[in-house]
């Protein structure tokens, strides 16, 4: 076997490896023998770093010298919900600075939850001559000045996607920095921008880029501009409309309707702020070919939603507000037999009383009618164990199940029992479940079910649940494939954490906030586990100004080869081997 | 994953140096009482108040929806509940415009009165009758097409649907 490996020339092996794309497979290849490790590292073109602090740029560059595409993630997921204080970290500049020197042929940069500055964008714009793809997902710290630099300098740009990023002080003129000779754009997503872009610059850009497939506009693009844009890009496959509202006028309507029917390739729609229902029929002609519909910003009521979804027989993904109600979900179940993913968001998340008739029944209907359903995010105000058991039995192929019952610790509203058995059924029947978010009244028992059955689970989100450390222990001990665990407001303390310390090295990260992990336990973990960064995040001041038994506010633990980081703000402390000395 | 199976000393750390959990049970009691407050939708003070086990739920972090969606929903709600329509009003010679809620007024008379006070002047508009004082100003507005028109020529509702901003200029005759 060894002789065979040696007798194959490197070029042949490299060619074979070029068909292997998944990181898991590439990592496996690199461990076969030293020469395969060497060959593989020289031909790896894509890098994914799930936690930017798990490794430092020079380590990556040293091992993989010829990378063309980099994906980095920064802040933990709970940062999306304001649980990570501003200034925590996730700065991408050091990575870009290192890569500017090492990877002059870098083509793609994808960042999620990172702090990106205008300086960073300017460096990207001038360092990578063949730069093609920039995806900034939930990033912050930059302005349209940075975007102008990208537009002006990246001659081969194909994709600029700013999904859900916070862009400072936006002005619309950055779009005009794309030179007239620039025609390579394939995908543009500016839906998160607050203010107007220069409309004529936008129309001109759209008109001169024949390969444009994805265009997600922002709210500031009014309906009457949309028709012009669509007419210049009838080849669009994915469209995010801006504001879908105007005075109802027949000439405007026929203009929009005509523009939409000209777009024969449209498969995905999003946007639709401020919908005037009278204009919805303008999209009916293309509904039957839609596979993805994101109406999370559209305040359309259920009768109009029913009319809409009942024409979308090819729909695979629907994101919608709870205005759809149970009755709309029944229509979805009846007409959209190819549905794979459903997300229902709350229209009035802070209201104490329900404002719509959306209950557990809606989700049950969809689970009954849509046999391919495997990904669910559902906000509601009531649930029963029976409903969850039914859903579990109907959807054994579920891979992502996230339920958010808005009021914390809500019990089964009929039996008044905890929802342990319902979620237990989910993990028992859905053997491929990779992601789970819990809510409602839950005891340690649900965690026992999870530890026993959820063997493929990779990410678990827990809030206001459990009774004791036993709950956390079940999960850490039983979930063999757990990578990310995020917990808030649960009575989990030191015992489970310390008893399962080694488990933490097999995971990407653990987040615990408003729990009962003591500062003393954090110090102990920091001392004993050098390959973990134990970050105590506490805005009340230095943890050693309080007794050791005092619980920390927030705790973020992640495995790392890079050691403690040096860019922490004043409210973050890393527990390391020296911390016991420093804090005593 | 061979490491995980056995309870070797490296996989578990003794916490015998640290106080038992029983001293914390009283804090859990406190948690349960506070859950009533949660049900009433009251926002509870953050743990900066000193009690580290206080559940700190505020509107900014529960339920878990992303900021972009939260902002959009908040804006929708404002539109429905307390409808406002702010436009900028520029006075000749002053570079900074003042913001004015047009929907807080029920018609032109009301609007002019507010503007007179805001800018300490007398404003001429379409329906003004008879006498002018020595120093007066003219009120114009920019409509959706970018044209500047005299305020007061069209019905109030039509004005509201087309006005983008207001300008007060000296009228020299």
Of A80, A138, A514, which has the smallest distance from its Cβ to B56's Cβ? A514
B145 interaction partners in chain A (CB closer than 8 Å): none
What's the pTM?
Answer: 0.80
Q: What is the structure's pLDDT at B143?
A: 86
Q: What is the dihedral of CA A243, A244, A249, A251, to 10 degrees?
A: 90
CB neighbourhood size of B68 (10 A): 18
Q: Mean pLDDT, chain B, as a whole number? A: 66
A9-44: which CATH topology? Monooxygenase (1.20.1280)
Whether A199 has its CB under 8 Å from any CB of chain B: the answer is no
Provide the CB-side half-sphere exposure for A20 (13 A, CA).
17
Task: Tell me how close the Cα of A36 comes to any Cα of chain B, in angstroms.
Answer: 24
Cα–Cα distance for residue pair A167/B11, rounded to 1 Å = 45
B60 CB contacts (<8 Å, ≥6 apart)? A82
Tens digit of each residue's pLDDT (9 = 90 or more) over B38-67: 344 333 333 333 333 334 566 678 999 998
Cα–Cα distance for residue pair A66/A41, rounded to 1 Å = 8
> CB–CB of B57/A408 below 8 Å?
yes
Cα–Cα distance for residue pair A214/A411, rounded to 1 Å = 43
B57 interaction partners in chain A (CB closer than 8 Å): 408, 489
Q: What is the mean pLDDT of residues B12-19?
A: 43
Task: Tell me how close the Cα of A127 comes to any Cα of chain B, in angstroms.
Answer: 32
Q: Contact A502/B4, CB-based, under 8 Å?
A: yes
Provide the CB-side half-sphere exposure for B101 (13 A, CA).
7
Residue B125: pLDDT over 50: yes
Provide the CB-side half-sphere exposure for A311 (13 A, CA).
13
A379 interaction partners in chain B (CB closer than 8 Å): 63, 65
Q: What is the structure's pLDDT at B19?
A: 36
Is residue B32 packed enough to be buried (19+ CB in 10 Å), middle (13-18) or exposed (0-12)? exposed
Q: Which residue of B has its CA nearest to A480?
A: B1
> CB–CB of A375/A367 below 8 Å?
no
A408 interaction partners in chain B (CB closer than 8 Å): 35, 38, 55, 57, 62
> A with B: how many residue pairs have Cβ under 8 Å apart?
126
Q: What is the structure's pLDDT at B40?
A: 41
Cα–Cα distance for residue pair B106/B149, rounded to 1 Å = 20
Structural Rg of chain B based on CA atoms:
31
Q: Contact B76/A503, CB-based, under 8 Å?
A: no
A498 interaction partners in chain B (CB closer than 8 Å): 12-15
- A389 or B83, which is more confident? A389
Q: What is the structure's pLDDT at B123?
A: 82
> CB–CB of A200/A228 below 8 Å?
no
Whether A460 has its CB under 8 Å from any CB of chain B: the answer is no
Ranges of chain A with pLDDT below 70: 1-6, 169-170, 578-584
Q: What is the mean pLDDT of residues B2-19?
A: 41
Residue A94 to residues A61, A118, A137, A563, B49, Cα–Cα distance (Å): 13, 14, 18, 16, 37
CB neighbourhood size of A187 (10 A): 20
Q: What is the mean pLDDT of residues B26-39?
A: 39
Q: What is the structure's pLDDT at B14?
A: 45
Whether A549 has its CB under 8 Å from any CB of chain B: the answer is yes
Q: Contact A345/B65, CB-based, under 8 Å?
A: yes
Distance from CA of residue A32 to its chain's centroid? 33
Cα–Cα distance for residue pair A405/A313, rounded to 1 Å = 29
What is residue A84's DSSP assignment?
S
Of A297, A528, A550, which has the smallest distance from its Cβ to B13's Cβ? A528
Pairing of strands B98-101, A69-73: unpaired
Task: State whether ipTM is beyond 0.95.
Answer: no
């Amino acid at each position: 076997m060894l002789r065979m490996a040696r007798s194959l020339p490197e070029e042949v092996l490299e060619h074979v490896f070029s068909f292997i794309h998944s990181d898991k497979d590439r990592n496996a290849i690199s461990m076969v023998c030293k020469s395969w490790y060497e060959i593989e590292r020289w031909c790896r073109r894509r890098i994914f770093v799930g936690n930017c602090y798990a490794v430092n740029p020079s380590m990556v560059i040293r091992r993989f010298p010829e990378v063309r595409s980099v994906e980095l993630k920064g802040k933990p997921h709970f940062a999306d919900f304001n649980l990570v204080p501003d200034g925590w970290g996730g700065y991408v500049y050091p990575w870009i600075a290192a890569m500017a020197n090492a990877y002059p042929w870098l083509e793609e940069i994808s960042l999620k939850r990172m702090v990106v500055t205008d300086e960073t964008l300017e460096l990207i714009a001038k360092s990578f001559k063949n730069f093609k793809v920039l995806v900034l997902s939930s990033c912050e710290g930059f302005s349209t000045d940075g975007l102008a630099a990208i537009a002006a300098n990246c001659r081969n740009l194909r994709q600029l996607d700013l999904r859900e990023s916070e862009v400072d002080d936006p002005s619309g003129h950055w779009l005009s920095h794309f030179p007239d000779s620039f025609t390579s754009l394939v995908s543009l997503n500016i839906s998160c921008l607050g203010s107007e872009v220069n409309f004529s610059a936008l129309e001109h850009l759209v008109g001169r880029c024949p390969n444009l497939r994805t265009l997600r506009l922002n709210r500031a693009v009014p309906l009457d501009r949309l028709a012009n844009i669509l007419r210049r890009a009838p080849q669009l496959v994915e469209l995010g409309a801006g504001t879908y509202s105007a005075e109802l006028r027949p000439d405007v309507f026929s203009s929009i309707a005509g523009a939409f029917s000209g777009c024969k390739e449209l498969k995905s729609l999003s946007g639709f702020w401020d919908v005037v229902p009278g204009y919805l029929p303008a999209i009916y002609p293309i509904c039957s070919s839609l596979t993805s519909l994101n109406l999370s910003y559209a305040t359309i009521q259920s009768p109009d939603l029913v009319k809409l979804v009942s024409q979308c027989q090819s729909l695979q993904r629907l994101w919608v507000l709870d205005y759809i109600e149970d009755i709309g979900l029944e229509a979805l179940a009846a007409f959209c037999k190819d549905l794979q993913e459903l997300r229902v968001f709350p229209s009035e998340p802070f209201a104490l009383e329900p404002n719509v008739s959306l209950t557990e029944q809606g989700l049950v209907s969809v689970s009954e009618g849509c046999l391919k359903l495997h990904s669910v995010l559902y906000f509601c105000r009531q649930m029963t164990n029976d409903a969850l058991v039914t859903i579990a039995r109907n959807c054994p192929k579920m891979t992502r199940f996230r339920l958010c019952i808005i009021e914390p610790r809500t019990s089964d509203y009929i039996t008044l029992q905890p929802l342990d058995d319902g979620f237990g059924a989910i993990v028992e029947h859905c053997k491929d479940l990779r992601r789970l978010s819990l809510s409602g009244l839950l005891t340690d028992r649900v965690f026992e079910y999870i530890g026993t059955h959820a063997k493929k689970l990779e990410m678990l989100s827990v809030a206001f649940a459990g009774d004791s450390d036993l709950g956390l222990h079940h999960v850490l001990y039983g979930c063999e494939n757990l990578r990310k665990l995020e917990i808030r407001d649960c009575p989990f303390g030191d015992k489970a954490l310390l008893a399962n310390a080694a488990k933490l090295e097999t995971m990407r990260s653990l987040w615990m906030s408003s729990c009962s992990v003591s500062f003393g336990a954090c110090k102990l973990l920091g001392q004993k586990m050098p390959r973990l960064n134990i970050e105590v995040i506490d805005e009340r001041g230095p943890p050693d100004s309080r007794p050791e038994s005092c619980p920390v506010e927030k705790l973020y633990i992640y495995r790392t080869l890079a050691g403690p980081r040096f860019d922490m703000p004043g409210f973050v402390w890393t527990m390391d081997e020296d911390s016991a000395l420093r804090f005593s | 994953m061979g490491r995980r199976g056995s309870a070797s000393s490296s996989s578990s750390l003794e916490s015998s140096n640290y106080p038992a959990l029983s001293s914390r049970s009283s804090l859990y009691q406190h948690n349960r009482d506070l859950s009533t407050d949660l049900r009433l939708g009251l926002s509870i003070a953050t743990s900066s108040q000193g009690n580290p086990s206080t559940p700190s739920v505020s509107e900014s972090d529960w339920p878990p929806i992303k900021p972009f969606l939260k902002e959009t929903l908040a804006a929708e709600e404002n539109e429905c509940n307390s409808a406002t329509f702010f436009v900028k009003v520029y006075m000749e010679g002053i570079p900074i415009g003042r913001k004015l809620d047009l929907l807080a007024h029920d018609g032109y008379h009301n609007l002019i009165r507010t503007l007179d006070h805001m800018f300490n002047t007398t404003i001429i508009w379409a329906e003004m009758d008879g006498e002018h004082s020595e120093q007066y100003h003219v009120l114009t507005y920019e409509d959706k097409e970018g044209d500047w028109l005299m305020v007061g020529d069209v019905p109030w509702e039509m004005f509201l649907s087309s006005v983008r901003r207001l300008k007060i200029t000296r009228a020299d005759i």
